[in-house]
Amino acid sequence: MSLPKAAAWLRRRAENVVVLMLLAMFLVFLLQIVSRYVLNWPIGWTHEISVLLWIWLVLFGAAFVVPDTEEMRFDLIYGAVGARTRRIMALITGIVTVVALVTAMPATWDYVSFMRVESTAYLGIPFNWAYAIYVIFAVAMIVRHLWIGFRAIYGKAPKAYDPTKASSGV
C-alpha cells in the first residue's frame, strides 16, 4: 500500500472515530433528556460523558480530520497576495506554531500527568485520561505544521482561498 493510500485510509478511520464519538455524545444527550424530563430522574454521568466526548471530538477532529485547507486563515490578506508571499506566510505560521507547541510541551505534559490525582465526579475517570487528547493534538499539530513549513520551503505555495468554491465552512 502506498503512502498516500495509507494516509487516506487512516483519515477515513479517523473520520469514523469522530462519527462514533458524535453518535455516542448524541445518544447520551438523548438519555439525559429522557431521564430528566420524562422520568424525572436526573443522572449526572450523562453530562460528564457529553463534556468529555466533546473535548475529545473537537481536539481529535482538529488533529486528524480537518484538512489544512479548512484551517482558519486571514483570507482577505492571504487571498490578496501572490504565491511567494503565501509560501512565506505558511512558513512563518508553521515556525511560530511549532515553536509555541514545542515550548509548551513540557508544561503540558507535567499538567496532564499531574491531573491523574483528580478524577471526574460521577464516573471516576482520571483527569489525565480526559486531558490526554490535548497532548495527542499538540503532537499532531507539531507534525502537521512541520510538514506545512517543509512544503512552503520545498514545495508549492498553498492555494489561495477561493470564495466561489464550496467547503464545509469550518
What are 102-158's pLDDT values in tens digits?
Answer: 999 999 999 999 999 999 999 999 999 999 999 999 999 999 999 999 999 998 777
CA dist 80 and 129 (Å) reads 43
- Residue 3 exposed, middle or buried by CB count within 10 Å (0-12, 13-18, 19+): exposed
CA dist 37 and 108 (Å) reads 40
Residue 94: predicted pLDDT: 92
pLDDT band at 167 (very low <50, low <70, confident <90, very high): low
CA dist 50 and 46 (Å) reads 6
CA dist 115 and 127 (Å) reads 5
Q: Is residue 60 scored above 80 in pLDDT?
A: yes
The mean pLDDT value of the chain amounts to 89
What are 45-59's pLDDT values in tens digits?
Answer: 999 999 999 999 999
Instruction: Write down the pTM of the prediction.
Output: 0.85
Q: Is residue 14 scored above 70 in pLDDT?
A: yes
Residue 70: predicted pLDDT: 73
